[in-house]
Amino acid sequence: MTLRDPETAPRRANESHASFLLIVPFVVTTMLALAACAEPAVESPMRAVVGEKALMTTVLEPAADLYWAAVGEIVTAEGVEQIRPQSDEEWVAVRNAAVVLAESGNLLLVGRRARDEGAWLDWSRELTDAGEEAMRAAESRDPDAVFDVGERVYFACRGCHEQYWPEGLP
């Protein structure tokens, strides 16, 4: 084996190759660390089964319609007819619809349904809070409270639609 002049080109090439080999594991480790930050350590156990539209029409809309229809007034020629739940079963149905609305706020955040962590999150939480208030109103069997909270529920739906589904507004 011949001793080489330390200033010869092949030696320099080897050196730069060696430092490149040191950089590669560093870059890979950094990339793995960044990937670990981007992905949650444990994958969510929840799985969205239907699309957003179907969630609206099968879960949110029927519950909201039942809740909104529970209390109100119909003006007729004979006078004003008050609409109120008429039995225990009807009150329980109103309460159950409110629970569905409250929990729907959570369903809107499952997996890819959550469009962002800003307004989408806020409107979903607002629906959960409004639904919970609606649940309490129904549990206390207070028709005026059920009516008033119905407005809060409506604005939670409408607020999100204005921002994320403007073409659907009347």
| Residue 128 structure tokens | 């959960």
Count residues near ligand HEC (CB under 6 A): 21
- CA-CA distance, 32 to 119, in Å (whole number)? 31
- CA-CA distance, 133 to 127, in Å (whole number)? 10
**DSSP for 38-61?**
HS-SS--S----S-HHHHIIIIIH
Work out whether 153 is an interface residue with ligand HEC (CB under 6 A).
Answer: yes
SS3 string, 100-130, reads HHHHHHHHCCCHHHCCCCCHHHHHHHHHHHH
- Cβ-based nearer residue to ligand HEC, 14 or 58: 58
Least Cβ distance, residue 51 to ligand HEC (angstroms): 7
- Cβ-based nearer residue to ligand HEC, 143 or 149: 149
List the x/- string, 1-40, binding to ligand HEC by CB under 6 A.
----------------------------------------
Work out whether 127 is an interface residue with ligand HEC (CB under 6 A).
Answer: yes
Taking CB under 6 A as the binding criterion, the range among 22-30, 33-41, 69-77, 157-165 that sits at the site for ligand HEC is 157-165
